[in-house]
Amino acid sequence: MALWHLLIILCLLATLVSPHSRPFTTPTVTRFTDSFPHVKVDSTFSKAFGDSNIQFLNNGSMATIALDKISGSGLVSKSRYYYGFFSAAIKLPAGLSSGVVVAFYLSNADKFPHNHDEIDIELLGHDKRNDWVFQTNIYANGSVNTGREEKFYFWFDPTQQYHYYSILWNSYHTVFMVDNIPVREFKHRSTFYPSKAMSVYCTIWDGSEWATHGGKYPVNYKYAPFNVTFSEMELSGCISDPTTQVSSCSKATPSSGLDPLNGPDFTKLSQQQITAMDWARRKLMFYSYCNDNTRFKVLPPECN
């Protein structure tokens, strides 16, 4: 076999190797998930849709939600939060997952349908290599046509065991974390920033049309049901008065002690966390809206 033939074959094989099969040495970071208490899922959340596909387990401390031919399913928090730390240990379904979308996110679209905010962690079943993709997104003040998506590969197999997916949202920045490693920081620098109280959602649904190139790789229900389990849930923040748009916590200052998530430990990333985030973005990010000149003729101001 000619040497150049061998090189081509090796290159093709390399493209088929999952990112999480490569040897990664992950950075050491502060574990924010150790700073907040776990909540019982059955008492903190209500069933949003697909009731028959939802099971509370382990005395209500865990929940499994499923997607089948009939329906997806989802949970919604009983309280609305104005800033906070939101985290879940999630185990994704194994096997062919193209078109399956698992989401852990905050939204107030039900209350403000034309002017809503949203902070998204979306786990996308992939159409190649049976991998999953980690996507983050933000909407603010009704800008529903201009999401700020970024996509990452995992450095592990998210179907084999539980991993932490976390959102820190306060008046200074929004930080997305995987196993406590920051992968994205969105700073509060402009009017494009989530500003109203939101509910927390856990969902699984058929995103074939949206997530697989217009339905090119739809969900294969031969492998249904697709089950995802949420555990070690953490929802710590200012619970908003449902009769108003703004929580009393928004008036607190770091020195007052009333709102620790706006305190010094959470208002800026440490150098250790910045180094870890740089590692994740260099090694694993494969799409950022800030690099998408086709979609944005003029890049959003935060990209500069």
The residues annotated with a catalytic role in the active site are: 118, 122
Residues 275 and 280: their CA atoms lie apart, in Å, by 9
Asked whether the beta carbons of 184 and 150 are under 8 A apart, the reply is yes
Residue labelled with tokens 């399956």: 100
How far is CA 243 from each of CA 80, 105, 111, 291, rounded to the nearest angstrom?
Answer: 11, 22, 11, 41
Q: State which amino acid sits at residue 226.
A: F
What are the two backbone dihedrals, phi and then psi, of residue 133, each rounded to the nearest 5 degrees?
-120, 140
How far is CA 257 from each of CA 42, 240, 249, 254, rounded to the nearest angstrom?
Answer: 30, 18, 10, 6
Residues 176 and 25: their CA atoms lie apart, in Å, by 20
